[in-house]
Structure formats: structure tokens, C-alpha cells
Amino acid sequence: MRWLRIVTLAGALMAPTAQAQDYPTRPIQLVVPFAPGAGSDVVGRLVAQKMADSFSQPVVVENKSGAGGLLANRYVATSAPDGYTLLMVTGAYPAQAAMLKEMPFDPAKDISMVSSLIAYPFVLIVRPDSAIRTVSDLIGHAKSNAGKLNYATTGPGSVHHLASEMFNMMAGVETVPVAYRGGATQILELLAGRVDFLFETMPTSMPFIADGRVRAVAVTTKQRWAALPNVPTVADTLPGYEVVSFLGVAVPGRTPDPIVAKLNSEIRRVLDLADIRERFKALGGEQRPATAGETQAFVSDEIRKWKEVVAARGIERQ
């Protein structure tokens, strides 16, 4: 009987490893929390195709948009932890975790990070004819017109919103949010003169910056960004200000470690491909391979940062 118990235990310990060696044996679903054409969708499809080529199994992108990404996150959180349901994680994930009073799942236990994929700053942009040319200009205008300047967001608790409120907090100013559906809609509203400025993601804003329809005032990373080398940082004026948006891959919590490790290894291979590096560069981002632990720590830090902004600015949690 003792021999039988030892054999049984050995088999149990070996099962996840054997499972990972065979994985994947059927199609994988990559759930994207936003609509087709969004930055997360573009990156997701690029990575999915490369993974499918290597795995010899389809990696099917499924868009589950709604509730700022919550529908997709909840779907994956409640899926089987077998490596066949992946989640495209966006910067909205930690922002939402900080903003909601109650989450329909535990972000620390029900979702496990695999790796980050790409990182890019937000860009503070204005109309070409705006008198705002520097971060100091914006602060000065906001102080002399308290409560009159407005900015575009994709809704309460979005990264656009929280990045702007962190700016208000650190600059000691009051500017007013105006919510839109997101994407190019916000920029079009800026051009129409209905908002004064906005913090927009690099992939969305780059085409408008490139053809001169908007002016880039500053980027939100600590150092200048390679895609906009002549644009200063917000931190040059407000030391410590930093907002880095990202995309990554996650799986349901309790997915076996060997499968997570195999996915992480495959993502690293994909991110090292020359055509992926060039495509990410064209989007204004940089590939960011990381371990599962590093990615989890980054997301936890982002949740903590945004909770501090929500509390300091007295933003009503939803």
C-alpha cells in the first residue's frame, strides 16, 4: 500500500508537467476586452497569429467588449484554468480594480498574469492653435481659469480619467472631465474645441500627431520616449508623475505553473521577432517581456497607485 501511495503521489506531481509538455492540443481562445480595431485588438491579433504558427493550433481572438473591459475579465476569471482561455490585459484592468467598490471576481486570485507584451506612454495633446505649448502653460491656464478648462476621458475610472486627475492632484489645479466613448472620438472632440486637452494613448494619438492635426505637449513616462524624442515629459515639470499604459496576457487563476511557464516562453519568443518589434514601434510602443511574477507585481503596484489617486481626489468609487 505504501508503494501504491508513492506511485500515486509521483503521478500527481508529474501530471502538470506532462500536461504542459502536450499543451496545447486544441484551439486557444484569446479574449480581448475591447472592440475590433482597438489597440488591444491589433496587438492581440499580431501575437495570436505568431503563437498559432508555433503551437500548430489556432489562437482565436474573441472580442468581448463592454463595461470598460469588465465583461471580458470576468469571463476569463470564471473559465477553466487549463491554459485554453487567455485574457488580453490592458491598462484599464488595474484602474478598474482601483475604482470599483466591489469586483465580481478577486483580481489577486482569479486572474494570473503571464507576461506583459507592450508598453507605451500616454501623450498630453492639444489643438495646434492652442496657447498651451508646455506643461507649465497648462498649469498656468488652469490656475487662472479654475474649473473652466476641461479634458476628455473614456469615463469615470478610466486611465484617461485617472491620469488627468493625478495631474490635477500633483499640479494643484482643477480641470473638468468630459466623458466620451473613447478612441479617436476624444481627439475629434478636441479638434472641435469642445475640450481643451487630453491624455491619450500613443497608438491612438500618433497618427494625429504625425500629420499635425494635434500637438504633443508631453509624454507621461519618466524619460522621453523614442517615438517622440523631441517631446518632453510631464515629469520634467511635475517630478514623479508617471503613467505607463501596457498590454499583457493573463490566464484564469490556478492555471498550472508549467502551462504558465510555457506560455511565458512562447510570448518571449514572439516579442523577440523582428517584425513584431517593428510593428510595435510603429504603434509607438516597445515590447516588454517579463516573468509572470514581474507582471503580477507591476499590476499590483498600478492598482495601489490608482487607489491613492481615487482617495486623494475624492473620486466616487462605482
DSSP letter string, 166-203 = HHHHHHT---EEEE---THHHHHHHHTTS-SBEEEEHH
Distance CA 130, CA 50 (A): 43
pLDDT of residue 144: 96
> CA-based diameter of the chain, in Å?
83
Distance CA 149, CA 197 (A): 8
Distance CA 284, CA 253 (A): 31
Per CATH, the number for 26-119+245-312 is: 3.40.190.150
Rounded average pLDDT over 196-214? 93
Length of the chain: 318
Q: What global pTM score does this model have?
A: 0.88
Per CATH, the number for 121-236 is: 3.40.190.10
Higher pLDDT, 277 or 18: 277
Provide CATH 3.40.190.150 ranges for the chain: 26-119+245-312
Q: What's the pLDDT tens digit per position in 134-147?
A: 999 999 999 999 99
Reply yes or no on whether the pLDDT at 187 is more than 70.
yes
Provide CATH 3.40.190.10 ranges for the chain: 121-236
